Structure 1
Amino acid sequence: MPPLTPDKQPWHTHLAADIPASLVVFLVALPLCLGIALASGAPLLAGLFAGFVGGLVVGTLSGSPLSVSGPAAGLTVVVAAGIAELGAYSAFILAVVLAGVMQLGFGLLRAGAVAHFVPVAVVHGMLAAIGCILVLKQVPHALGYDVDFEGDESFVGQGGGNTFTDIVAAVQNADLGAFIIFVAALGALLLWQKVGKKMVGSWMPPALVAVIVGALTNELFRLYAPDLHLTDATHLVTIPDLSGLSGILFALPFPDFSRIGDPAVWRVAATIAVIASVESLLSVGACDKLDPFHRITPTDRELKAQGAGNIVSGLLGGLPITAVIVRSSANIDAGARTRVSAILHGVLLLLSVLVLAPILNHIPLSALAAVLIVMGLRLASVRVFHAQYQRGKGQFVPFLITLGAILFTDLLVGVAIGVGVGIFYVIRSNFRSAIVVAHEDHEYLIRFAKDVSFLNKPALLRAFSAIPNGSAVLIDGTRAQFIDPDIVDAIDDFLLSAKARNITVELRRSATSLNTHFKQEAAA
């Protein structure tokens, strides 16, 4: 009997792996939740609320063992535009609730099958693109140039720049203290991967060691090198300070249900529902590719879980939620085994709002940059490019185009372009392999290797025209289940011309349309 996968075992079996992984995901998710809220023009707490709902609600209901949900950078433009269009944040979070209801409907209608139409090469291209974006976007943070919000994934940056101009500006305006903290955190992470894990096991993940070393380095600067000490809140994790549970409950507005009949609210809700659903399905599909146990996420269940999460997040005043590949990658990279890790990360985000703010506000963003850069390099390693290259042009070209399109646009646009290129290569492959032509001297074989459509007609006509006069031709259609009427007409025309060219033709066919046609011709 094969061994059980982790999700089939009791939930507490893998706590030794899931608890440390949840700490890493929490540290990665915390600044991302705040940064995405800031970029969206929403209250900072809205990002944290969405984060812990993504962990607690979606993590509990989802069938994905390793994906992590929360506010997504891909929705920042939608959120900002939605708040502006509706004129009030209370109306916007009503749209989030309605979007969640729509996602529940998508799940009940089994719309999750859409995810299976994305080619594997596109999924790998998406993962590599996210890796490249992580590296490029974290370089400025590593140098202390914290102009763009944490978690920004768009090519166009704040103030009209872009990913590459931001790197140039970061080099020109580097903060020495932040860079030293980055180097210390990076060194600690790499060293712990080599040595530390062997001594203490997985209970102290390298990413957590990097963050601790980064924070301690900044404290040493405070004591012994004040000029290098990072004090500006823009360089540090910044959690709003609230007065207990009562302060949290009333920190954000409640949905304005009086506007439930407003068509603009429903329009924004539909936009959120579609984009969040597509991004979630893409993320869990990519996550399944990274899963060391090769588990498959039930996509319809995922849509229902995301819908429930958005309903709860909207009711609490939080941002819309999706499955997020960056957090999911961090979860897998940290050694998580089950969804307990995602749930615990949600618990930690809730605790960060309640009691942990004074401690977490000492973490430098440059230390977190070390964690994210290492994770990005793994997603976009040379080995990944080599593996795709080995699969041939039909896989490598869609992979590269998806990567480039995401890097220079955004996730959804890039994936759409990649899917288009992938479909082109599928059609091209089928087009080339549908008709096989072989010959020896003046004996020709034309075999329909699979279903033949009108797209194959030019190739068939070229094959007919290349046959010399006086040849013998065998047209074999026994392997085709379908032959397009255009192909039948082309064969019919060839038969008529073959007599004048002294070409003998033998037909072997099984497709109904071809069979019927030539029976009628024989009877006439």
Structure 2
Amino acid sequence: MNSSNPFKNLKADFPASIVVFFVALPLCLGIALASGAPLFSGLIAGIVGGIVVGAISGSQVGVSGPAAGLAAIVLVAITSLGSFENFLVAVVLGGVIQILFGVLKFGIIGYFFPSSVIKGMLTGIGLIIILKQIPHFFGYDSNTEGELPLFQSDSQNTFLDIFDSVNHISPGATIIAVIGLAILILWNTVLSKKGKIFQLVQGPLVAVVIGIIYFLLTQGNVAYGISADHLVKVPVPDDFSSFLGQFSFPNFSAIGNPAIWVTAFTIALVASLETLLCVEATDKLDPRKRVTPTNKELFAQGTGNILSGLIGGLPITQVIVRSSANIQSGGKTKMSAIIHGFLLLISVILIPTLLNMIPLSVLAAVLLIVGYKLAKPALFKQMYKAGWKQFIPFTITVLGIVFIDLLWGIGLGLAVGIVVILIKSFQNSHFLHIEDKSNGKHRIKMTLAEEVTFFNKGAILKELDSLPRDTFLELDVRKTRFLDNDIIEILEDFSEKARNRNIDIKLISERGTVENPTSFLEFFQLRPKSA
């Protein structure tokens, strides 16, 4: 690509940008709905993510905007912080923290989280999205902003809301939601593989268009029509000044609230993780195999979140759904993402009335598919087959997110992941090879691992104490590059016990072999530090 001429690949980038726009429009509205935020805030985030982040980012094919992965945070934060304006302060601060991450070269932060925890995070978010959208799917929009938590001590929560929706089903909203869901499933499983037209025109857009047509055809029908309460509500400006009046602004007087800082750090951490994961995925999908500079990407995302928060938008990340749609549609450079942002801006200005004909239940159907893709049953099976060391941190993360909140879930999953690492370290400190008796003595070979720390004390001490009398122990430390002083002290103590139990020790190191060393402390103090 010739970076001095951004329009060089416009023939490929413009058609791709149209596809990304068609994917992004319903998702911007849907994620705002799932987040319990004004629907206009999702469009703002999409516009900023496309134009601003797209221009600054070092990624040529990644597309940024509001992400399902942050919906759970936004949902809880708007209520707990008292207002949407207070929440916007957290978005701005989260952007500042992301820029700091980039300056401090934290682009590798994603590598410090076990994949089991990251997969658990995305799965937990997917489950929350599904649970939150079930009432909307059936046209039960008494809680249109979606602010109810999954569990709380009073009389109302998400699960009760789901049960209540059974008694308040809106026939029209439910019918079009079922039709929309069927279209999405058909598109994903069959039609998308049949021809280029079905890749150019995406399922979510078709579901939304069918929803608008259904609303227009059934207007005035009491039984099967869709009332205004069940439709998208994007402000319709009369002129430019009223258009500007739609934007919300942060309430910086609340900046001293510690909860805002906690939310800001949570947004920065999760948005950075989701972005870095997406960057890794999109770089692999990129036909040209270009590598995105991760620290520059954090700077771009932080800049986008600052601007989005300042004008009333949701938090932004790079998102895999839009990015993969861009790549599959032939997008070559970042111009595709930038143009899609301008298309969103034009739609907000020119067709807000049309947007307000979209049934909320259709957006719920779109989000059910999004949630399902994040929390596929096959993933649970895959993690189970990977073994308990993967499955337990994954499960704890999912349960923590669903039953407590996102930050607790990640924290618990990470804590369990660390415990698993310690258990593995405990188990892998040494390898024992027991041979047959020879000359009346057991021959046992113990090979120490490359790194042996105080975590391994219990395992090594247990093995040494269990050695029977009249044993010949061959202790091999040739592969050991770090040996904690605690372990050396154990070996020193054992040398005295060995003499009392007629145990002969042969120490094999890179410096040679020593029979029944008189002092392990002296021996290892004389070893080269590199070993």
AA aligned opposite 2:136: H
Structure 2 residue matching 1:167: 3-state secondary structure: helix
Which deviates the most, 104-113 or 450-459? Answer: 104-113
Q: TM-score, normalised by structure 2?
A: 0.82
Gaps of 5+ in 1: 1-6
Distance 1:388 1:337, change over 3 A: farther
Shift of 1:409: 2.5
Structure 1 residue matching 2:483: 3-state secondary structure: coil
Give 1:135-284 correspondences, 5 Å limit. 135-149=130-144, 154-156=149-151, 161-193=156-188, 194-195=190-191, 198-199=194-195, 200-222=197-219, 225-233=221-229, 235-252=230-247, 264-265=255-256, 270-271=261-262, 273-284=264-275
Contact 2:53-2:304 within 8 A present in 1 as well? yes
Match of 2:3 in 1: none
CA distance in 1 between partners of 2:179 and 2:114 (Å): 40
Contact 2:136-2:361 within 8 A present in 1 as well? yes
Quick check: which one's helix share is greater?
1
Structure 1 residue matching 2:300: 3-state secondary structure: helix
Contact 2:446-2:473 within 8 A present in 1 as well? yes
Structure 2 residue matching 1:395: 3-state secondary structure: helix
CA distance in 2 between partners of 1:391 and 1:454 (Å): 28
Structure 1 residue matching 2:446: 3-state secondary structure: strand
Structure 2 residue matching 1:362: 3-state secondary structure: coil
Distance 1:76 1:372, change over 3 A: closer
Contact 1:53-1:346 within 8 A present in 2 as well? yes
Structure 2 residue matching 1:502: 3-state secondary structure: coil
Please list the CA deviations of residues 103-144 of structure 1 after superposition, one character each: whole Å capped at 9, or x if unmatched. 323321223332221111112222222332232222211111
Match of 1:518 in 2: 523
CA distance in 2 between partners of 1:31 and 1:271 (Å): 26
Contact 2:79-2:147 within 8 A present in 1 as well? no
Give 1:16-95 correspondences, 5 Å limit. 16-33=15-32, 36=35, 39=36, 45-46=40-41, 48-64=43-59, 65-70=61-66, 72-73=70-71, 74-79=73-78, 82=81, 89=85
CA distance in 1 between partners of 2:318 and 2:75 (Å): 13
CA distance in 2 between partners of 1:519 and 1:355 (Å): 77
RMSD: 3.6
AA aligned opposite 2:386: R
* 2:420 is the alignment partner of 1:429: no
Please list the CA deviations of residues 205-247 of structure 1 after superposition, one character each: whole Å capped at 9, or x if unmatched. 1221111122222222226x432111233x1111011123332
Shift of 1:436: 1.0
Shift of 1:345: 4.6
CA distance in 2 between partners of 1:46 and 1:417 (Å): 31
Contact 2:39-2:232 within 8 A present in 1 as well? no
Contact 2:126-2:373 within 8 A present in 1 as well? yes
Contact 1:474-1:507 within 8 A present in 2 as well? yes
Shift of 1:476: 0.9
CA distance in 2 between partners of 1:361 and 1:520 (Å): 77
Match of 1:479 in 2: 479
Match of 1:3 in 2: none
Please list the CA deviations of residues 27-60 of structure 1 after superposition, one character each: whole Å capped at 9, or x if unmatched. 1112433664xx46xx765554344223321233
Structure 1 residue matching 2:218: 3-state secondary structure: helix
Give 1:430-449 correspondences, 5 Å limit. 430-441=425-436, 442-449=442-449
Contact 2:16-2:329 within 8 A present in 1 as well? yes
Which deviates the most, 272-281 or 363-372? Answer: 272-281
* 2:360 is the alignment partner of 1:365: yes
Match of 2:452 in 1: 452
Please list the CA deviations of residues 317-361 of structure 1 after superposition, one character each: whole Å capped at 9, or x if unmatched. 324623276xx4465478566555654453344234312111011
Which deviates the most, 244-253 or 51-60? Answer: 244-253
Gaps of 5+ in 2: 1-5, 437-441, 512-518
CA distance in 1 between partners of 2:182 and 2:112 (Å): 42
Structure 1 residue matching 2:506: 3-state secondary structure: strand
Which deviates the most, 273-282 or 16-25? Answer: 16-25
Structure 2 residue matching 1:415: 3-state secondary structure: helix
Give 1:401-416 correspondences, 5 Å limit. 401-416=396-411
Please list the CA deviations of residues 164-210 of structure 1 after superposition, one character each: whole Å capped at 9, or x if unmatched. 22221112221111111111112223334424762524221122111
Contact 2:249-2:312 within 8 A present in 1 as well? no
CA distance in 1 between partners of 2:378 and 2:89 (Å): 45
Distance 1:189 1:340, change over 3 A: farther
Match of 1:321 in 2: 315
Q: TM-score, normalised by structure 1?
A: 0.83
Contact 2:117-2:413 within 8 A present in 1 as well? yes
Distance 1:50 1:14, change over 3 A: closer
* Counterpart among 374, 378, 387 of residue 383 in structure 1: 378
Contact 2:422-2:455 within 8 A present in 1 as well? no
Structure 1 residue matching 2:474: 3-state secondary structure: strand
Aligned residues: 497
Contact 1:26-1:348 within 8 A present in 2 as well? no
CA distance in 1 between partners of 2:100 and 2:276 (Å): 20
Sequence identity, in percent?
A: 34
Shift of 1:273: 4.2
Which deviates the most, 483-492 or 276-285? Answer: 276-285
